[in-house]
Structure 1
Amino acid sequence: MADREQHQQLAGAAAGGADADADADAGKGQHTMLRSDRDLEAATTESQPQTDLEKNIDNSTGDVDSGASTDSKVDRDPNVVAWDGPDDPENPLNWPESRKWLGLGLISAMTLVTPLGSSMFAPGIPGIMVEFGESSATVATFVVSVYVLGFAFGPLVVAPLSETYGRAPLYRWGNVLFVVFSVATALSRNMDMMMAFRFLMGLAGSVPLTIGSGSIADMMPIEKRGRAMAVWALGPLIGPCVGPVAGGYLIQAAGWEWVYWLVAILAGIFIPPSFFLMRETYHPVLLQRKTNRLRNETGNTELRSALASKETPAERWKNAILRPLKLLVFTPVITLMALYVAIVYGIMYLLLTTFSFVYAQQYGFDEGTVGLTFLPAGIGMMIGVVLFGGFTDFLVKRKQAQGAELKPEVRLTPALAMPCAVALPLGLFLYGWTTHYAVHWVVPMVGVVIFSCGLMGVMMCVQNYLLDAFPQYAASVTAALAVLRSLAGALLPLGGLEMYNDLGLGWGNSLLGFISAAMIPLPLLFFVFGERIRGRTKLRV
């Protein structure tokens, strides 16, 4: 009712020429009228696109930084609907912490379950190859990585859908489809069926991976995003690592089909909570709902959302699909950082798809025991979360306490980013040469722990940096990262076994280590020159 009375008062003031000073005294959150033509001219000048971008609001796309305030715009027009001041309880940034973390916990749980399907059945690949009469090494690795290929193409559809219908429907129905395709995969009777349904599982499972960071930006202020991003990012990284631990023994005891039955059950658990507990967080959709409600209550059909796009639905859809690709191709910061993440992510998947063969051949592990070889990667990522999750927020809070200008490059502080980057090649060299000489299996697992710890740190640094640098394009930036990262995760493993056969485990992993070492200067480069590079990027997306 407060919203209704507010807009009725403003409409009356507009019709009767009420004095703007009286409107200003009407209370917090009420909008004032422009007092003169000079004010109107100033407002017109201030509302140009470059000013909106400084406030992290993009009227043409609907992308919005959750921390941006729309009050400065709506004060000038009583027909524009925005949040009722900075403390509006409907704004997800002002939700109680319990509600925020309940939503984030649910999203993170979904983000953990969907990657389980990517590698949980990896220990059973040798048996599946025999059952389906396959002998190609390429098929053996592609049946794992085709799932990640779904992660690559899914964001191109998920991101624009989320910008049109909001985030909550995508989480709900994406999870339902994921359960359906998991059941279909469990019922597969040949390799072609399995690959097709695993690809569809990846498409549906890409939803929480694509828009999870956007939900965090909707709800969390910048000084709390580091921890939230760490919790969310843990899923797509630790899921493929811990899944095979249970999958190895499950396949040995009940057969590979039960891997997918288990994944379907786990994902199905979250269907009721997603429909009854999950709330929409996307600001443009929430403000549009508020606008529609006020139109019905007041009868004022001129009301419009402060974040409403002027584009037609077709134009908005087309731009939303193309935006991640434009950002990926034409924005150097995103291009290089996405390439860095893609390479290390692809290396991780190459290791995951070959663990079953390497440890079976070098150390004689059986199907059950070989599943345990994936555990060190999960342990390393947990260590990475503990070490780097809180540290990145600490750096932000320290800058705020010092009163210094808070720039996105703080996420790439050398004390944080450089140890992560150095850990990647170090872990690969240790893993490669110790498996080559069949040193006790504990030693190569230590190498995997070091690598995965560095991987977690790099992912957190890059994702937080790009989210802070391009908050108005949060969903599109995440989609751009996911596309390149998942393509690398799907395609790099295809040559893994052949590479080991040709170069050996020592030099094969050393090659990966040299590639990782060549990428070490990137975080330092953008820490020093990132602001200048971003300032020269003039791309209208």
Structure 2
Amino acid sequence: MVIGWDGEDDPECPYNWPRRRILANTGMLTILTFLIPLTSSIIAPGVPEIMLEFHNSSNELAAFVVSVFVLGLAVGPLLLSPLSEIYGRLIIYHISNVGFVAFSVACAVAPSLEALIVFRFLEGCFGSCGVTNAGASIADMVPEERRGKYLAAVSAGTLLGPILGPVIAGFLITAKGWRWVFWLVTIVSGAMSIVMLLLGRETYHPVILQRRVDRLRKVTGNSGLRSKFDDGLTPLGHLRRGIVRPLKLLMRSPLSLVCALYLAVVYGYLYLMFSSVTVVFQQQYGIHGELAGLVFLGLGVGNLIGMVMTSIVTDGAIKRIGAAGQEIKPEVRMKLAPLGGLCLPAGLFIYGWTAEYHIHWIVPILGMTVMGIGNMISLLSILLYLIDSFNIYSASALAANSVVRSVGGAVLPLAGLSMFSALGVGWGISLLGFIALAFIPIPILILRNGEWLRTHFEVRNL
């Protein structure tokens, strides 16, 4: 006998949870997706102090101290996301939270630059669970017609965290030194881990139904009961399939690969800004110390604007389509993506050339705001699109995307300072802008031809 949900109103189905429970789980995920990316950049203002303490003057290692965390974000999902599709989201969150806290402590007491880099990488590996799986958890709890605003909340943390990290660190490092940024992360993440342990609920439908099957088997003695999601595989078989699933999506789905490459550029530019903005504003405008971190607020404001625009426009479009009785296709999530593609190079050109010619500091910050709008529209549109396209395998789809975009976020910043030294701020940023211009057709292609790509290159036997 196959066990499924008891109708559309089954109270155990996360779609039918009380709103307060959904909001509570979303709130915890939002804090998690804010804290992890914040940790990725919070050390940026302290890099000069770190290099001085460890007697190292390499520009590449200085950038790598920041970006190696993002490399960890690329590696972690390859294991953690498939595990969440076998054992459930919640247990993987708990394990990852413990590992993240442990390596945050390790970073705070790191005895050498090499140890700090290794600990930052492992910290990123464990932290990747919150960033990658949060979108899948939202998809577990919220139907697609209401999903945009919830995913916007958790995605806001992904982009606001890295921006506010340097702002906080600028003041903390001046007062207490660079090691205290990791103690702060340890305290906050430790508290959040305890809250999730006490209040977190499992959201993954197959795991919830399997628990129901296990209860019914115990009560009835009928070993023939099975979940509608049961495909007969053992946990080891699920793990083998799950580990290769993100790679399958990248290799066999052109849509997944194109989305990943596009966000690799978007994400790479974001982290390149983190590694260079402080230096640019110090050299061009003489802004030092605590004030240097405040310039990142331009990106933050842009991200908020992009988040609100995307959630309102896409959720509104889905509600109108649903009310008209028409089929809701994932491509509606890409409605604003071409605008995001235009804002990214526009913001880069404004920022680069106004900083080059020392035009009032507010103008390059406004350029960063335009770039932030483009960043958020692009990121949120594609994440929503992947979730709606791959449904139950959304965690693997997001993991595949996270791997590629995180590599971009880790590698591109390594060239930033050297590029600006060779080309100057104006032409260095313009080079990035020209590359972003070349990528503008991608969101337009997905908007117009995404359905054809989904249906003609559907990945089976995931």
Counterpart residue number, 1:503: 423
In the alignment, does 2:103 pair up with 1:168? no
In the TM superposition, residue 452 of structure 1 has moved relative to its aligned partner by 0.7
**Distance in 2 between the 1:215 and 1:114 partners?**
16
Q: AA paired with 1:201?
A: E
**Distance in 2 between the 1:532 and 1:161 partners?**
31
Map Cα deviations across residues 140-185 of structure 1 (whole Å, 9 max, x no partner): 1000000000000000011111012100111122112211111110
In the alignment, does 2:430 pair up with 1:519? no
Q: AA paired with 1:364?
A: G
Q: Calculate the aligned-residue CA RMSD, in Å.
A: 1.1
In the TM superposition, residue 237 of structure 1 has moved relative to its aligned partner by 1.0
**Distance in 1 between the 2:196 and 2:399 partners?**
22
The answer to whether the 8 Å contact 1:123/1:247 transfers is yes
Q: Give the alignment of 1:393-408 within 5 angstroms.
A: 393-408=315-330
The answer to whether the 8 Å contact 1:436/1:506 transfers is yes
After TM superposition, the score normalised by the length of structure 2 is 0.98
Question: What stretches of structure 1 of length at least 5 have no aligned partner?
Answer: 1-78
**Distance in 1 between the 2:223 and 2:234 partners?**
18
Q: AA paired with 1:102?
A: A
* Aligned counterpart for 2:357 among listed residues 437, 444, 448: 437
**Distance in 1 between the 2:383 and 2:449 partners?**
18
What is the aligned residue count? 461
In the alignment, does 2:17 pair up with 1:95? yes
Map Cα deviations across residues 64-104 of structure 1 (whole Å, 9 max, x no partner): xxxxxxxxxxxxxxx21111111100000110111111101
In the alignment, does 2:238 pair up with 1:324? no
Q: Give the alignment of 1:65-144 within 5 angstroms.
A: 79-144=1-66
Counterpart residue number, 1:64: none
The answer to whether the 8 Å contact 1:423/1:453 transfers is yes
Q: Determine helix, strand or coil for the equivalent of 2:5.
A: coil
Q: Give the alignment of 1:244-259 within 5 angstroms.
A: 244-259=166-181
**Distance in 1 between the 2:413 and 2:323 partners?**
45
Q: AA paired with 2:192?
A: F
**Distance in 2 between the 1:190 and 1:366 partners?**
26
In the TM superposition, residue 308 of structure 1 has moved relative to its aligned partner by 1.3
In the alignment, does 2:128 pair up with 1:243? no
Q: Which one has the largest radius of gyration?
A: 1
**Distance in 2 between the 1:102 and 1:518 partners?**
41
Q: AA paired with 2:453?
A: I
Counterpart residue number, 1:43: none
In the alignment, does 2:311 pair up with 1:389? yes
In the TM superposition, residue 363 of structure 1 has moved relative to its aligned partner by 1.4
Map Cα deviations across residues 103-141 of structure 1 (whole Å, 9 max, x no partner): 011011111111111111211111211111010100010
In the TM superposition, residue 194 of structure 1 has moved relative to its aligned partner by 0.7
Counterpart residue number, 1:380: 302
In the TM superposition, residue 272 of structure 1 has moved relative to its aligned partner by 2.1
Q: AA paired with 2:67?
A: S
The answer to whether the 8 Å contact 1:338/1:481 transfers is yes
**Distance in 2 between the 1:192 and 1:369 partners?**
29
In the TM superposition, residue 533 of structure 1 has moved relative to its aligned partner by 1.7
In the TM superposition, residue 385 of structure 1 has moved relative to its aligned partner by 1.5
Map Cα deviations across residues 207-226 of structure 1 (whole Å, 9 max, x no partner): 11111111111110111111
Counterpart residue number, 2:368: 448
Q: Determine helix, strand or coil for the equivalent of 1:270.
A: helix
* Aligned counterpart for 2:79 among listed residues 129, 152, 157: 157
In the TM superposition, residue 468 of structure 1 has moved relative to its aligned partner by 1.2
Q: AA paired with 1:272?
A: I
Counterpart residue number, 1:342: 264
Counterpart residue number, 1:199: 121
In the alignment, does 2:228 pair up with 1:313? no
Residue range with higher mean Cα deviation, 94-103 or 416-425: 416-425
**Distance in 1 between the 2:348 and 2:227 partners?**
52
Map Cα deviations across residues 271-295 of structure 1 (whole Å, 9 max, x no partner): 2221111100101111111111111
After TM superposition, the runs of 4+ consecutive aligned structure 1 residues lying more than 4 A away are none
In the TM superposition, residue 315 of structure 1 has moved relative to its aligned partner by 2.2
After TM superposition, the score normalised by the length of structure 1 is 0.84
**Distance in 2 between the 1:228 and 1:529 partners?**
27
Q: Determine helix, strand or coil for the equivalent of 2:359.
A: coil
Residue range with higher mean Cα deviation, 416-425 or 245-254: 416-425
Percent same amino acid at aligned positions?
48
Counterpart residue number, 1:479: 399
In the alignment, does 2:141 pair up with 1:224? no
Q: AA paired with 1:188?
A: A
**Distance in 2 between the 1:377 and 1:539 partners?**
37
The answer to whether the 8 Å contact 1:124/1:367 transfers is no
The answer to whether the 8 Å contact 1:121/1:248 transfers is no
Counterpart residue number, 1:55: none
In the alignment, does 2:350 pair up with 1:426? no
Q: AA paired with 1:153?
A: V
**Distance in 1 between the 2:100 and 2:391 partners?**
29
* Aligned counterpart for 2:379 among listed residues 435, 439, 459: 459
Residue range with higher mean Cα deviation, 293-302 or 361-370: 361-370
